Amino acid sequence: MDTIPHILVVDDDPEIRRLLGKYLDGQGFRVSLAGSKGECESKLAELKIDLLVLDVMLPDGSGLDLCRALRGRMPQLSIILLTALKEDVDRIIGLEFGADDYLGKPFNPRELAARIRAVLRRGRSEPQPAGSRQYVFANYVADIESRTLLAPDGSAVDLTGGEFELLMVFLQRPGRVLSRESLLDLTQGRTADPFDRSIDILVSRLRRKLGDASVFSMLKTVRNKGYQLAVPVERSN
């Protein structure tokens, strides 16, 4: 089995594609390249891609629209958006559309490689102690090993890697008020800048998928402090 992560870089600038492809290959990743939305779709149909590095501006369509479409069709695909440095709106919309992370242009390729590793790490199943394979809360069942979430009616809830990792952080610390800074550190291993809204948007997405988007009975906002999982949590086999 090929365990080397396969990265698809989608950018309409051939020089950026070439440089990123060369650098990421040197970092131990398997890399494929695409210069348009259509080429990206073709590569995804042909290849098994673990993570997509996706530019927002593409010659044949919006990377944001593609991100939203792929999130609906391929919920397990990890996506990092590349946006213009000042396009905060694109970053926020991208996170709302299901991106796992974003990086503003221009950027250091080393930072992109670090973000890729962090996102892939969040998507992996890690060994857990015996007797703690599942968390049960509000009639939901989260399975650690398979990284799946079952709704009270037994149906599967599609979560991205980032959403599942955030849920695990809350389930492992029920009742604790967790600041945005600590949540960002625990889920992504990085510190927040003053305008970083990624955790807020990730919480909003998780609330929506838990049916908690209007009542906030499970994931409560604690003013000026952060967020709290406010329901009992049980561990089971």
pLDDT digits over 213-224, tens only? 777 789 999 988
194 cis-preceded (ω within 30 degrees of 0): no
Confidence check: pLDDT of 141 > 60: yes
Neighbouring CB atoms inside 10 A of 58's CB total 22
Confidence check: pLDDT of 95 > 70: yes
Please give the structure tokens belonging to residue 120.
Answer: 């892939």
Range name among 46-50, 90-94, 149-153, 209-213 with the lowest pLDDT average = 90-94
Domain range annotation of the chain? 6-123, 134-236
Residue 126's pLDDT is what? Answer: 44
pLDDT digits over 9-33, tens only? 999 999 999 999 999 999 999 999 9
Provide the angle, in degrees to the nearest 10, between the axes of the packed helices 180-188 and 198-209.
80
Dist. CA 159–CA 173, nearest whole Å: 19
Dist. CA 204–CA 210, nearest whole Å: 10
Mean pLDDT of 200-228: 88
- Binned at pLDDT 50, 70 and 90, residue 129 comes out as very low
Is residue 193 packed enough to be buried (19+ CB in 10 Å), middle (13-18) or exposed (0-12)?
exposed
Mean pLDDT of 177-205: 78
Residue 185's pLDDT is what? Answer: 80
In whole angstroms, how far apart are CA 186 and each of 88, 134, 189? Answer: 23, 20, 6
Q: Average pLDDT, whole number, for the chain?
A: 85
Between 48 and 72, name the one with better pLDDT: 48
Confidence check: pLDDT of 84 > 80: no
Residue 193's pLDDT is what? Answer: 59
Note whether 120 and 165 are within 8 A (CB). Answer: no
Residue 233's pLDDT is what? Answer: 92
Q: What is the CATH number of domain 6-123?
A: 3.40.50.2300
What kind of fold does domain 134-236 have according to CATH?
Arc Repressor Mutant, subunit A (1.10.10)
- Binned at pLDDT 50, 70 and 90, residue 130 comes out as very low
Mean pLDDT of 137-161: 90
Confidence check: pLDDT of 87 > 80: no
